[in-house]
Structure formats: C-alpha cells, structure tokens
Amino acid sequence: EIDLKELVEQTIQRLSLIGKEKNIHIRAHLSSCSIYAYKPYMEELVINLIKNALIYNRENGEVDITLHQEGRQVYFEVKDTGIGIPEAELSKIFKRFYRVDHQNRTGTGLGLSIVKNIVQYYQGTIDVRSQIGAGTSFTIRMPIVEGERKQYAQYDTL
Ligand code: ATP
Ligand code: MG
C-alpha cells in the first residue's frame, strides 16, 4: 500500500528545479489517498506526467495537480498551461518513441508510453484533453485495490 499523496508531494519537490527555470507555478490539490501497487511504477507515472507539464509549459505558466479518491478508484490529474498538442497527434503520443515535432526540445518519447503501460497494467484509464496554445490535461483513474482489478492483470507484463 502506497501513500500516493506523499509520493506526489515528494515528486513535486524533486521536479521543482525544472519549474523554476520558467517560473512555473505549481498548484497541488491533494487529499490523502493510497493505492495497492508497486511503488517504482507509481513513481514513474507521477514523474513523467508532472515533468511533461513543466517541460512543455510556457514562461510563467501554471500546473494544477489534483489527487483524490473517487469511489474505489484513485483520481489523478495533471493540467498545464503549455503549448498544447494538436488534435491529430493526440492518438499517437502514447506510442513508444513518438514525439510531436518541436524545435530545440529533446526527449526520448518514451515517457507517456510507460505511463500508459502502467495504467493499463493496473486496469486503469488515462484520458488526455488539449488545446493548442492553451494547455493539456492528463486524467488517470486507477482501482485502489487488486480485488477491483480483472483477474488476468497479474499475468500481464509491462
Ligand atoms: P521522455 O521520454 O523524456 O518523456 P518526451 O517527453 O518527448 O520524452 P513523452 O513524455 O512520451 O516523451 O511525450 C511524447 C510527446 O508528447 C512529447 O514529445 C510532446 O511532444 C508531447 N507532450 C507530452 N506531454 C505534453 C504536454 N503536457 N504538453 C504538450 N505536449 C506534450
Ligand atoms: Mg516526457
């Protein structure tokens, strides 16, 4: 059982330097919340979404991070005021090595594919909404306990 609120708070701390460069304001709306999952996977998920929200943001931008329990699920949302993702690209960003073509930005294009694999491993869902020039939000819902997940989950691999 992982304290997700604590994990998200620690991740915000760890990534705060990236945000400082562009003077990005991070707002956290976190209520206490835990999940039965493998901690390194959850760390990876949280880091990747928050990192993207900071990197693909604008000068003086904002990031809103929301965490709460929603019935038997965890609700986690990362919303930014960044460059946005063209609608035609939205279905492709979860593919391995896929990057929307921006000049002078580097990355491997793996982050979101890892995030999606982790979410699917735990029988959760991930949704993305975006508007060019206005921002992007990623919303994740994941069952809190194993019993709420489908049986075959344990045989899946990342
Ligand atoms: P890394 O493997 O280092 O994370 P990456 O950030 O390029 O590299 P992903 O995190 O998988 O890879 O993201 C894929 C692409 O989706 C990015 O290259 C970027 O073009 C786009 N993207 C991801 N998150 C956002 C966001 N919050 N706002 C705008 N574009 C984004
Ligand atoms: Mg990334």
pLDDT at 150 over 70: no
Compute, in angstroms, the gap from residue 109 CA to the centroid of ligand 1: 6
Stated pTM of the model: 0.93
β-pair type (73-80, 62-70): antiparallel
Compute, in angstroms, the gap from residue 147 CA to the centroid of ligand 2: 31
Each residue's pLDDT tens digit, 62-91: 999 999 999 999 999 999 999 999 999 999
Share of the chain above pLDDT 70, in %: 92
Average pLDDT for residues 118-122, to the nearest whole number? 97
Residue 74 and residue 35 in contact, taking contact as beta carbons nearer than 8 Å: yes
Q: Which atom of ligand 1 is nearest to the CA of 102?
A: 20
Q: Which atom of ligand 1 is nearest to the CA of 109?
A: 12
135 in contact with ligand 1, CB cutoff 6 A: no
What's the chain look like in SS3?
CEEHHHHHHHHHHHHHHHHHHCCCEEEEEECCCEECCCHHHHHHHHHHHHHHHHHCCCCCCEEEEEEEEECCEEEEEEEECCCCCCHHHCCCCCCCCCCCCCCCCCCCCCHHHHHHHHHHHCCCEEEEEEECCCEEEEEEEEECCHHHCCHHHHHCCC
77 in contact with ligand 1, CB cutoff 6 A: no
Ligand positioned closest to the Cα atom of 54: 1
CA dist., res. 133 & res. 64, Å (int): 17
ipTM score assigned to the predicted complex? 0.99
